[in-house]
Amino acid sequence: MPVLSVQKLNVSFGDKIVIADASFDLEKGDRAGLIGPNGSGKTTLFNCITGGVTPDSGMVVLPAGTVVGSVEQHACADPDMPAYEEALTVFADLAAEEERLALLPALIESAGGEQRDALIAEMTALTDDFRLKDGLTYKARTRAALLGLGLSDAEIALPTGKLSGGQRTKVALAKLLLSSADLILLDEPTNHLDLMSIEWLEDFLGKYRGTALIVSHDRRFLDDVTNKTVEISSCRVWMTGGGYTRHMELKAERQEHIRREYEKTTAEIKRLEAVIDQQRTFSMERNFITIASKRKQIDRLKATLVAPEKPLREMHLDFPVSRVSGNEVLSVSGISKSFGGKQMFRDVSFDLRRGDRVFLAGPNGCGKTTLISIITGRLPADGGSVRWGAGVIPGYYEQSQRGLMSRKTALDEVYGFMPSLGLAQSRQYMASFLFSEDDVYKHMDELSGGERAKIGLLEVMLKGPNLLILDEPTNHLDIRSREILEEALRRYTGTVLCVSHDRMFMERLATKIYVFSGGTLREASGAEEYAGIFKQPAVKEKREPKVNEYELRKHRDSEERKRQTKIKRTEEEIAALEREEEELQAALADPQNAADYIKAAELSDRIAAVAARRDELMELWLELGEQ
């Protein structure tokens, strides 16, 4: 029985249809990606599953007793509770059992008779239950989850009220992952996570025994984690097996098949209509019968006609270069920075040449954004220098979007950034970024993160820079918008300095990757090396254990004896099979058996089976001989 069954679901808000006739099932153990453009209905589907939204028709079916979990349900409720203690609240039943188990020894000691026997029985049953529920490890698992998601030991000791929004989200995510929910709904779980934490989450979900439905715009994460993909597009829902990349391949094949069938069917309809027009010119009884017959054929074809999906409106993004810079674009030399006596990084040096696409990578808090702020002049360095090349026009995209949180309208923001455009041209540019009609009059602080990201990219584009400095530009963008940005940067003829945790984005664009590690910056050979940097344990000097030559020789001799025994047994079985094959061939050659069709077929099948087994053993014998 499916863990989740969505059956003919229809949801609308007023006159706007959000989800139309959606149906799909998730089985136990499925990890399905839920994809679609921003605003396509992913959150609405989540709310239908949790009961927050009542569909117009159709239903969401969950087996009796199914527990559904989401981050919102596991939010941090007590701002004074330390993060670690907050995360432990998902194990309230185990904590109660542990507390009772701690009390029972003293109660047993002071009790007597039947009461003592009852307490001993209770302790035995409670101990078994505690171990069965992995009670011995729940505290270690909680700490591992918090650290794995990128919180430090110092941060998990802080009250949740003193954590940042991103840190509290990590605590809530840890609680959800550790909960006993049968179905978990993850909405952009990789937001606020660095690569090391994303890889921890991938590993956790790979071992997760329950079912997960995951909204994410991280293409590599979806490919690594999911075994099914559910897409919402133009109000329709379609599910395939496999991750994001496989889903897109299947989608392209499906769309091509629909297009061919549509063209073939419409051509047939036109042919039948031409026949009808011809028959009408004769005005005879049999011609009217033919017309009626052809009309029925047309009606049947129209009933099965499926039109190809219309392309969705997309952002049009290009970064024109207003003038070409010199070959030497930027030189960073010996930059160091500390905060409150704690050094963030030291002696950071690298050069940018025209046409480079350089990515800065590393764990959260290592100093990537701080270094960008020093380079752009928004923050002073403690030491070192930043030297710009000739004719460099930088364009800076800020991750925090702090400069885009005003009460201005979106139109006023763009027009005010470059008044020379005029209002009409400002609106034209905004339309190419999917701001149309009343959208341009929304206040900046009321826009979604994705909408503000598009305004930020538009302002960078309008400047015509020959050096793009981008701090997490893919944050808040849906998958297609990320791909459009990726394509625009590939066409861009200037230089790029970018901070990103999006592995696919980085792999497809980077000409160089510099990695922060241990307070310094070094060049990595590629994204794969970057992926392995934080997995390597700290190197500790230790003395190699002394090899016991006698034990080593004994082990080698034992393995050789085992090998020789396997060779002998294999040779014996091969010889027996060869003898059996000879006997079967002789039996098949017997005229009496050859004349019996059934008997001959049985002998032939047996000969084939014996020969196949003999060939397998011959391969094994050769392998053993080469060891």
Q: Residue 536 has what pLDDT?
A: 41
Q: Residue 362 has what pLDDT?
A: 86
User: Do 228 and 173 have their domain in common?
Assistant: yes
Among 478, 426, 487, which Cα is nearest to 455's? 426
CB-based contact 505:474 (threshold 8 Å): yes
Longest dimension (CA), the chain: 111
| Rounded Cα gap, residues 411 and 153, in angstroms | 45
Residue 138 lies in a domain: yes
- For residue 219, the one-letter residue type is R
CB-based contact 235:20 (threshold 8 Å): yes
Through-space distance between the first and last CA atoms of the chain, rounded to whole angstroms: 49
User: Do 526 and 591 have their domain in common?
Assistant: no
Q: Residue 547 has what pLDDT?
A: 42
| Rounded Cα gap, residues 96 and 93, in angstroms | 5
Residue 575 lies in a domain: yes
Token code pair at residue 524 = 């990595």
Final residue belonging to a domain, choices 483, 505, 533: 533
CB-based contact 497:360 (threshold 8 Å): yes
| Rounded Cα gap, residues 25 and 5, in angstroms | 4
CA angle 213, 215, 217 (to 5 degrees): 145
Radius of gyration over every alpha carbon of the chain, rounded to an integer in angstroms: 34
Taking phi over 0 as left and psi of -120 to 50 as alpha, with beta for the rest, 65 belongs to left
Q: Residue 290 has what pLDDT?
A: 80
* pLDDT by 10-residue block (mean), the chain, 627 residues: 93 92 94 92 94 94 92 82 93 92 88 86 90 88 92 91 88 92 93 87 90 94 95 92 93 90 91 84 70 88 85 86 93 92 90 95 88 93 94 91 81 89 89 87 87 91 94 90 93 95 90 88 69 44 43 64 81 84 79 65 76 76 65
| Rounded Cα gap, residues 197 and 169, in angstroms | 13
| Rounded Cα gap, residues 616 and 589, in angstroms | 26
Number of domains in the chain: 4
| Rounded Cα gap, residues 34 and 459, in angstroms | 31
User: Do 256 and 242 have their domain in common?
Assistant: no
- Which helix (H) or strand (E) is 449 found in, with range? helix 449-462
CB-based contact 393:326 (threshold 8 Å): no
Final residue belonging to a domain, choices 498, 533, 568: 533
Residue 123 lies in a domain: yes
- The Cα-based distances of 301 to 264, 308, 326, 399, 615 in angstroms read 11, 15, 63, 53, 56
Residue 205 lies in a domain: yes
User: Do 607 and 510 have their domain in common?
Assistant: no
Residue 370 lies in a domain: yes
CB neighbour list of residue 605: distance below 8 Å, 6 or more residues apart:
none
| Rounded Cα gap, residues 211 and 28, in angstroms | 5
| Rounded Cα gap, residues 375 and 441, in angstroms | 34
Residue 378 backbone phi and psi in degrees, to 5: -85, -10
CATH assignment of the domain containing 222: 3.40.50.300
| Rounded Cα gap, residues 398 and 472, in angstroms | 8
- For residue 396, the one-letter residue type is Y
CA angle 477, 483, 484 (to 5 degrees): 90
User: Do 288 and 335 have their domain in common?
Assistant: no
User: Do 106 and 229 have their domain in common?
Assistant: yes
Residues listed for the chain: 627
User: Do 384 and 522 have their domain in common?
Assistant: yes
Instruction: Tell me, rounded to whole angstroms, the distance of Cα 516 from its chain centroid.
Output: 24
Instruction: Tell me, rounded to whole angstroms, the distance of Cα 354 from its chain centroid.
Output: 33
CB neighbour list of residue 522: distance below 8 Å, 6 or more residues apart:
514, 515
User: Do 232 and 253 have their domain in common?
Assistant: no
Residue 79 backbone phi and psi in degrees, to 5: -65, -15
Residue 30 lies in a domain: no
User: Do 59 and 129 have their domain in common?
Assistant: yes
User: Do 289 and 189 have their domain in common?
Assistant: no
| Rounded Cα gap, residues 309 and 303, in angstroms | 17
| Rounded Cα gap, residues 530 and 545, in angstroms | 32
The whole domain housing 283 covers: 248-304
CB-based contact 55:11 (threshold 8 Å): yes
Final residue belonging to a domain, choices 247, 271, 290: 247
What b/e sequence results for 96-132 when a residue is b if at least 16 CB atoms lie within 10 Å of its CB, and e otherwise? Answer: ebbeebeebeeebeeeeeeeeeebeeebeebeeebee
User: What single-letter DSSP state applies at residue 82?
Assistant: B
User: Do 263 and 241 have their domain in common?
Assistant: no
CB-based contact 181:90 (threshold 8 Å): no
User: Do 411 and 496 have their domain in common?
Assistant: yes
User: What single-letter DSSP state applies at residue 536?
Assistant: S
Residue 57 backbone phi and psi in degrees, to 5: -160, 170
Residue 414 lies in a domain: yes
SS3 category, 358: strand
- For residue 378, the one-letter residue type is R
- The Cα-based distances of 222 to 196, 209, 242, 492, 550 in angstroms read 16, 18, 9, 28, 51
| Rounded Cα gap, residues 326 and 319, in angstroms | 18
Q: Are strands 236-241 and 228-233 parallel, antiparallel or unpaired?
A: antiparallel
| Rounded Cα gap, residues 260 and 252, in angstroms | 12
Residue 13 lies in a domain: no
Among 43, 16, 5, 24, which Cα is nearest to 478's? 43
